[in-house]
Amino acid sequence: MFKVLKDLRQKGFDYLNLSDKELIDRFIRGDDKAFRFLYERYVNRIYSMAYRFCRNYETSKDITQEVFLRLYQKKERYNPVISFNTFFYRLAYNCILNYLRDHKEQPIDEWSMQQITTHPASPEENLFATESARRIEKIIDELPERQKTAFILNKIEGLSYNEIAEVMNLNLNVVKSLIHRATLKVLEVENE
């Protein structure tokens, strides 16, 4: 029985129960397996976040790679006083902004807002839901950059106001105001 536990640990199963903080601490001390588990835990979230900003599959993959490369190269900059989640989203946010600024890309009109729509019962409801979701997506894309960022981080990525304030390096009240204004604009379109 103990051999089975030893085999599982060697395959990384003990890493599954580690917190982000424990994984980053191990990674900083040179444990590359901990990095792989952080990668698996965050890769889809970072890709999704990048895609929401640039609307391009390949660009989002490039940005995601860049985020993890920077984490690997700059792991010593992590401050354990700050939550890893906040630190990592800040890193991702900066990579996204840098990439978009450097490449001056315009979003490609691809459709990926399934999370906003439900699964309608009829073709008419499906058409209405799709049109509504496209209008909402267009409004989100047209929001001023800081409103768009705060809205996406809160409503789509699920970060708290405090985490967004740290990620965007803004005052908490400014973050609340940005999200409130963005939400009002989105609701205005949704209620049309």
Could you give all domains of the chain from N- to C-terminal order, each with its CATH number?
A: 11-105 (1.10.1740.10), 117-192 (1.10.10.10)
DSSP 3-state assignment of 134?
helix
pLDDT (0 to 100) of residue 109 = 35
Q: In angstroms, rounded to a whole number, what is the distance separating the alpha carbons of residues 173 and 37?
A: 35
Segment 73-125, tens digit of pLDDT: 989 888 888 888 888 999 999 998 888 788 764 443 333 333 333 344 455 55
pLDDT (0 to 100) of residue 76 = 87
Of 12 and 77, more confident: 77
pLDDT (0 to 100) of residue 55 = 82
Q: State the pTM of this model.
A: 0.66
If phi over 0 gives left and psi between -120 and 50 gives alpha, with beta otherwise, what is residue 82?
beta
pLDDT (0 to 100) of residue 107 = 44
| Distances, alpha carbon 121 to alpha carbons 90, 118, 188, in Å | 40, 9, 25
Q: In angstroms, rounded to a whole number, what is the distance separating the alpha carbons of residues 52 and 178?
A: 18
